[in-house]
Amino acid sequence: MAVYLAWSPTAVPEDAQGPWTELRALADGLALVESDAGLSRVYHELKWSLPEGTALLVAPLPARPKLKGLPAGTTTWLRDRIADPGQ
């Protein structure tokens, strides 16, 4: 299962239907996506859930990022899905 970071100036709808197990909003326009699907499929499903012409960035997270000030549980959520590179 892969984890992707998605950004758009428009909030990604939390109830958007797509090939993911979970879509977790972090802030307006910033979300984590857990999916077995590849980058292209996740990108296109998110793109189709946004108004036409809206900017969108989707990138895989191969390692746990450093973070601060995000919603409670985000670090644990990432820890449960992305292995520590030191292990």
> What's residue 87's pLDDT?
58
Query: Do the domain assignments include residue 66?
Result: yes
> What's residue 68's pLDDT?
93
Give the Cα separation of 28 and 11 in Å (integer): 5
> What's residue 84's pLDDT?
76
Q: Which helix (H) or strand (E) holds 79?
A: helix 74-81
Q: Is the dihedral of CA 38, 86, 22, 28 positive or negative?
A: negative
**For the residues 2-11, what does the mean pLDDT come to?**
96
Residue 12's pLDDT band (cuts 50, 70, 90): confident
Report field, pTM of the whole predicted structure over 0.75: yes
Query: Do the domain assignments include residue 43?
Result: yes
- Counted domains in the chain: 1
Query: Do the domain assignments include residue 86?
Result: no
Neighbour tally for 51: CB within 10 Å: 7
Query: Do the domain assignments include residue 21?
Result: yes
pLDDT surpassing 70 at residue 86: no
> What's residue 15's pLDDT?
87
User: What are 25-47's pLDDT values in tens digits?
Assistant: 999 899 999 999 999 999 999 99
Q: Which residue has the tokens 């296109």?
A: 44
Please state, rounded to an integer, the average pLDDT across all residues of the chain: 93
Supply 76's token pair.
């644990």
